[in-house]
């Protein structure tokens, strides 16, 4: 039995839920229609709260398109937990509290889905695998998440994992025999993606093949309190060029202060 849906709009959440429907064979009738209750649970950090309306719009679209299939959305967040790397320490507790305090019907399907970072995704994927409940991240990446034995119910739609980017840098530098470089890294917890990238790159580019220096700034302090000029001077003395793993705002400040290639 197969069914198809025509995507008439390009809204990302609509595409996400159309793909999701392809996996809902458990609720298919013999005539090909879909029935059942689906609860999308989003445990998110405050920094990603602005993407939640996309989930809600996608759910409204699917509910209107498939009257027998009822989607609903549950949002879990705390304003005090701003970044996703901090949320990773709490996400399993939030998920367990939600899961065990609700009364579930045999026909219900629960899906944990949010813009989870890698740490949060891996934490949730461990417990959702035990529950046999899907967990979907739109940004979380990890080379281990594809391990079906360890994370049987996990899925990420992120384009690539951070280790792929680090491997690219390693291959790129090796190709040109560039072995001395300087990393300018932002230590701001709000930009956890760039912070994680810096850590992975430093792990991949090891001695004795590579001589790597690191300059750390914290854009959270504000432009007036961060000495970008000093960071550039230090980097310039360490290497002919730099790889900047910085947020867009911090990279702009660095580039505006720079008199040489970055």
CA 194 to mean position of chain CA atoms: 12
Q: How far is CA 246 from CA 35, 43, 215, in A?
A: 46, 26, 12
Each residue's pLDDT tens digit, 175-190: 988 888 888 888 876 6
Each residue's pLDDT tens digit, 110-146: 889 887 777 888 889 999 999 999 898 877 777 788 7
DSSP 76-110: E--TT--SHHHHTTTHHHHHHHHHHHS---TTEEE
What pLDDT sits at residue 43? 92
**In which element (H, E) is residue 113 found?**
strand 108-114
Q: What percent of the chain has pLDDT over 70?
A: 72
Each residue's pLDDT tens digit, 52-73: 888 888 888 888 887 888 888 9
The mean pLDDT value for 154-171 works out to 77
């Amino acid at each position: 039995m197969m069914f198809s849906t025509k995507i008439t709009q390009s809204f990302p959440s609509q595409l996400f839920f159309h793909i999701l429907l392809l996996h809902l064979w458990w609720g298919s009738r013999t005539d090909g229609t879909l029935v059942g209750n689906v609860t999308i649970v989003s445990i998110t950090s405050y920094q990603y709260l602005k993407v939640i309306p996309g989930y809600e719009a996608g759910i409204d679209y699917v509910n209107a398109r498939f009257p027998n299939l009822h989607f609903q959305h549950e949002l879990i967040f705390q304003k005090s937990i701003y970044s996703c790397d901090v949320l990773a320490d709490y996400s399993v507790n939030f998920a367990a509290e939600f899961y065990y305090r609700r009364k579930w019907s045999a026909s219900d399907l629960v899906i944990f889905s949010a813009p989870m970072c890698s740490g949060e995704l891996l934490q949730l994927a461990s417990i959702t695998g035990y529950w046999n409940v899907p967990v979907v991240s739109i940004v979380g990446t990890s080379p281990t998440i594809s391990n079906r034995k360890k994370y049987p119910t996990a899925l990420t739609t992120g384009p690539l994992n951070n280790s792929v980017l680090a491997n690219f840098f390693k291959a790129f530098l090796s190709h040109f025999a560039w072995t001395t470089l300087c990393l300018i890294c932002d230590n701001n917890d709000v930009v956890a993606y760039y912070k994680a990238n810096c850590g992975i790159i430093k792990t991949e580019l090891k001695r004795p093949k590579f001589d790597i220096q690191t300059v750390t700034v914290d854009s959270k302090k504000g432009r007036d309190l961060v000495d970008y000029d000093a960071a550039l001077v230090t980097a310039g003395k360490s290497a002919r060029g730099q790889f900047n793993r910085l947020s867009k705002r911090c990279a702009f400040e660095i580039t505006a202060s720079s008199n040489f290639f970055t």
